[in-house]
Copies of this chain bind each other. A is one copy, B any other.
Amino acid sequence: MFMHNKRLQYTVRVSQPNPALASLLLEQFGGPDGELAAAMRYFTQGLSEDDPGRKDMLLDIATEELSHLEVIGSIVAMLNKGVKAQLSEAAMEEAELYLAINAGGDSHTQSLLYGGGPALTNSSGVPWTAAYVDSRGDPSCDLRSNIAAESRAKIIYERLINITDDPGIKDALGFLMTREVAHQKSFEKALYSIQDNFPSGKLPGLTQYANMYVNASQGEGDALGPWNEGEQWERVDNIEEYLPVDGGDGLATVKLSKAETKTMEAMATRLQSDPASNPATGADMGAGPGAGKLTDEDMGGAADMGEAKAMAKKLN
C-alpha cells in the first residue's frame, strides 16, 4: 500500500512564474521519458515479478519515481501560479491575458484547458499514453528497457538544466537527473546478477544467422567497426547473392484448399488491372483545357497561364 507525506523529496523554490518554461518541463511530467512513465514501468513490472529481490527493488524505485512526479509537477504548478489566478479572476485586460497565456511552448493549452495545473502531456501537449511503457514480463528484457529509459530520462533533465537559469529549478532538476543515474546503476546490477541474460529468453538462436552482418546500406560512407567486422562477424556485402539467405525461392506461398483457390481466382479475375489497356483516367479529365492523355507537355501546359508560369519559375 502507498502512503504519502506532504513534504516533497526535494524542496522546490521557484523565482517567478513562467508558464512557457512550465510547458517545457512537462516533458518530464507527462512526456515519454517522464516520471509517470518511469513509475508505471517499474510498478507494472514489480506487480508480476516473482524474484523477491527484484520485486523489492522495482517497488522501491517505482515509489521514488512517483515522488519525483510530485517534485516536477510542483515546479510546474509554481511556474503557472500567476497565470492561473489571472485567467481565473480575469484580472487583466483581454489583450494582456492573451499575451500572458501565449508566451511560448504549448503554454496556451496548459492555461486554457488545464487551468495552469500540471497536465499529463509532453511539451507539445500530447497526452501521456501507456504505449510509452515497454514492460514485457521478462527480466532480461525489462531490466535492459529500464537501463535505457533511465539513460534517456537523464539526458532530458540535462537538456532542461541547460536551458534554465532559475537556480531553484536548476537545483531540483539536478537532483532528479542524478537519481536517474543512481537508478540506472541499480538496474544494471540486477541485470548482470542474472547469470545468463543474453540473449533474452530461453531459445538460443540459430547459429548460422547470429553472427551475420548484413551490409544493407552501401555506397560512399560504408564503414567498418567492431559492430560488423572481426572474428565474430560474417559480413554479407553481396546481398543479392544471398537472397534469400535460406537458399529457397524467396517467395511467400500458402497451400490453399481447392475451394479457396477457386475463389481466389474468381477474385483475381474480377479485380485485375489490365496491363494491356491504356485507359483515360480521372487525372486526364482534370488536367485542364485541351488535355487528353497527359504528356510531358501537358504538365507544363498549365505554365502557359501567366501566374502559374511565374510559380513554375520559382521552382525551377
Docked complex: A17-75 residues within 8 A CB-CB of B: 17, 20-21, 23-24, 27, 30-33, 36, 40, 43-45, 47-48, 50-57, 59-64, 66-67, 69-70, 73-75
A122 touching B109 by the CB < 8 A rule? yes
B279 touching A281 by the CB < 8 A rule? no
Contact status of A1 and B119, CB under 8 A, knowing A81-B254, A124-B106, A253-B14? no
What residues of chain B lie closer than 8 Å to A95, measured between beta carbons?
165
A174 touching B286 by the CB < 8 A rule? no
What residues of chain B lie closer than 8 Å to A52, measured between beta carbons?
221, 223
Having A50-B264, A95-B165, one finds 14 other A-B pairs with CB under 8 Å, namely A1-B70, A3-B216, A23-B108, A31-B113, A43-B70, A60-B215, A82-B256, A120-B133, A129-B131, A179-B209, A190-B227, A204-B303, A226-B277, A230-B278
B239 touching A182 by the CB < 8 A rule? no
Q: CB-nearest residue of chain B relative to A253?
A: B13
A89 touching B266 by the CB < 8 A rule? yes
Q: How far is the CA of A105 from the CA of B98 in the complex (A)?
A: 11
Can you tell how many copies of this chain the complex includes? 6
Q: CB-nearest residue of chain B relative to A312?
A: B204
Contact of A14 among B221, B254, B288 (CB under 8 A): B254
Contact of A209 among B115, B182, B194, B264 (CB under 8 A): B182
Docked complex: A295-315 residues within 8 A CB-CB of B: 295-296, 299-303, 307-308, 311-312, 314-315
Q: How far is the CA of A215 from the CA of B6 in the complex (A)?
A: 12
Which of the listed residues A1, A6, A59, A87 has the most CB atoms from chain B within 10 Å of its own CB? A1
Q: How far is the CA of A123 from the CA of B42 in the complex (A)?
A: 21
A89 touching B202 by the CB < 8 A rule? yes
A228 touching B60 by the CB < 8 A rule? yes
A198 touching B287 by the CB < 8 A rule? yes
Contact of A286 among B104, B197, B270, B302 (CB under 8 A): B197
Contact of A267 among B8, B69, B85, B184 (CB under 8 A): B85
B9 touching A244 by the CB < 8 A rule? yes
